[in-house]
């Protein structure tokens, strides 16, 4: 999917494996970009992904803050200059 290739209908249609490249939402060809960013049929999954990314970013930020609190101040200062 990251490379723009995947088992989308647009991709399979190029190789005549499916009759139509159109997405099930009927808003155009079913491409990787449409599935990730636009297809209304996947809005719930997109929202779950956004939430899990948000939670993970907060968890990492919190862990980063905790680890920097454990480093003594003089070492933190030296670390900032590198």
Interface with Zn ion by CB under 5 A: which residues? Answer: 23, 25, 39
Minimum Å distance from CB 56 to Zn ion?
26
Q: Which is nearer to Zn ion, 10 or 23 (CB)?
A: 23
Instruction: Return d(Cα 46, Cα 71) in angstroms, integer.
Output: 38
Angle at the Cα of 52 (from 9 to 24), degrees rounded to 5? 20
Minimum Å distance from CB 40 to Zn ion?
7
Angle at the Cα of 80 (from 77 to 81), degrees rounded to 5? 100
Q: Which is nearer to Zn ion, 25 or 36 (CB)?
A: 25
Minimum Å distance from CB 11 to Zn ion?
14
């Amino acid at each position: 999917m990251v490379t723009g290739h995947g088992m989308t209908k647009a991709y399979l249609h190029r190789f005549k494996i499916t009759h139509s490249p159109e997405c099930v939402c009927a808003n155009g060809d079913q491409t990787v970009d449409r599935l990730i960013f636009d297809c209304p049929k996947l809005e719930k999954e997109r929202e779950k992904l956004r939430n899990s990314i948000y939670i993970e970013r907060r968890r990492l930020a919190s862990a980063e803050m905790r680890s920097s609190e454990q480093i003594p101040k003089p070492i933190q200062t030296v670390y900032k200059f590198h």
